[in-house]
Structure 1
Amino acid sequence: MNKKSLNLILIGVFLILVRFLITIGDIRIDVTNDILGFALIILGSKDFKKLNSLAKKSFVVAILGFVGAIASQLINCLAWDSTIEDTMHSIAIGISVIFAIYYTYYFIEALMMEAKVQGRQAATRNYQVIWFVVAALVFAHYFIFMSTISLQSTVTEALIVIVAMYSCLTIKNTAKQLC
């Protein structure tokens, strides 16, 4: 896997983890679009999917995530009856969250498997902790704060941005040893 592929994947991971929704009338748009994020991941995964079996699984999840992101954006862009609008928004964000968490899990596990094969487990020793923190924050943001814009949801989103940036940079720096 080369640096360009890794950079594309990590930019895509950042985009699928972060949620910046803006509302224009009845339409909600995710500024950090998951469609773009999964497209970058798929482009970057051409070499990555050859790494091991978990890398192949992450590629399949990326393709499914791309389809899910399209469905999620369609749900967000449609004008729904006011009685089900919040429910449909919850479903759309839930689709995005599920695929983001699954993809990042398989991506991290694939890197850890490659490190084990190469005898460089020290390079990836904190990947599971990083993934757990990111996943916990993304789930917390979805379940606790997603329906309202509040100080708590804004702080949680800021934490997600910081932790996502940290995890992407950590993976970028340590994955150099595996390439």
Structure 2
Amino acid sequence: MNKKNSIFVITGIFLICTRFWVSFGTVNIDISNDIVGYILIFLGINNMKELNSRFKKGMFLSLAGLAGAILSQYLIARDWPVPETMYSIAIGISVVFAIYFTYYYTEALVMEARIQEKTAVTRNYQLTWLLMSAGIFIHYFAFKSSITMWSILVEALIAVITIYYCFLVFSTSRQLYED
């Protein structure tokens, strides 16, 4: 694994875990598009699939996540009788794939640390992942398609935790692969 692959995966994780919606009338556009995120993840994790079985599963999940992201964008773009429901379904698809992929990526790094006998490097990964995924999950179920001051604050908190997760993974994964 090299630095470029790590940056692709971490940037993709940031894009799939955060939502930055801009509304133009009745049209909502996600600036941090999941499609771009999953493409970056696939480009980065494709070279890591030989390291262990969880990286390989992560590669397949990135392709499934890409298909889910395309489906989500389709659901949002269509003119539905109840657009809020379709928006909630689209975000639900996105949430499931984001949590599922980040779990397997975290576990792949932990497994690689065990193989290299460097488990201290990944000590905080699972707790940080748990905080990030819990925030994403709670945000989805608490607010679904509504945009309120509280939902914006929770989204900001998720962005901060996601940034922390990405920096933690990037700084410690260098210890795994650049010694």
TM-score, normalised by the number of residues in structure 2? 0.96
Task: Say whether the 8 Å CA contact 2:76–2:83 is kept in structure 1.
Answer: no
**Matching of residue 77 in structure 1 with residue 77 in structure 2:** yes
Letter in 2 for 1:65: G
- Determine the structure 1 residue equivalent to 2:39: 39
- Determine the structure 2 residue equivalent to 1:30: 30
Alignment map for 1:4-15 (pairs within 5 Å): 4-15=4-15
SS of 1:177's equivalent in the other structure is: helix
What residue ranges of structure 2 are gaps of 5+ in the alignment? none
Q: Distance in 1 between matches of 2:121 and 2:155?
A: 28
Q: Distance in 2 between matches of 1:30 and 1:79?
A: 17
Deviation at 1:98, TM superposition (A): 0.5
Letter in 2 for 1:63: L
Q: Distance in 2 between matches of 1:20 and 1:122?
A: 34
Deviation at 1:24, TM superposition (A): 2.3
Deviation at 1:27, TM superposition (A): 2.4
Q: Distance in 1 between matches of 2:123 and 2:67?
A: 32
What residue ranges of structure 1 are gaps of 5+ in the alignment? none
Pick closer, same or farther for the CA change 1:24–1:79 going to 2, 3 Å. farther
Deviation at 1:23, TM superposition (A): 2.4
Q: Distance in 2 between matches of 1:46 and 1:61?
A: 11
Task: Say whether the 8 Å CA contact 2:8–2:44 is kept in structure 1.
Answer: yes
Task: Say whether the 8 Å CA contact 1:12–1:41 is kept in structure 2.
Answer: yes
Deviation at 1:25, TM superposition (A): 3.0
Q: How many aligned positions are there?
A: 177
Q: Distance in 2 between matches of 1:142 and 1:174?
A: 30
Q: Distance in 1 between matches of 2:141 and 2:41?
A: 26
Q: Distance in 2 between matches of 1:76 and 1:65?
A: 16
**Matching of residue 168 in structure 1 with residue 170 in structure 2:** no
23-32 or 55-64: bigger deviation? 23-32
Structure 1 runs of 4+ with >6 Å offset: none
Q: Distance in 2 between matches of 1:73 and 1:146?
A: 16
- Determine the structure 2 residue equivalent to 1:177: 175
Deviation at 1:146, TM superposition (A): 2.5
- Determine the structure 1 residue equivalent to 2:131: 133
Deviation at 1:150, TM superposition (A): 1.0
SS of 2:137's equivalent in the other structure is: helix
- Determine the structure 1 residue equivalent to 2:89: 91
Q: Distance in 1 between matches of 2:143 and 2:112?
A: 36
Task: Say whether the 8 Å CA contact 1:5–1:43 is kept in structure 2.
Answer: yes
Note the aligned Cα RMSD (angstroms): 0.9
Deviation at 1:80, TM superposition (A): 1.2
TM-score, normalised by the number of residues in structure 1? 0.96
Q: Distance in 1 between matches of 2:53 and 2:130?
A: 22
Same amino acid, percent of matched pairs: 47
Deviation at 1:140, TM superposition (A): 1.0
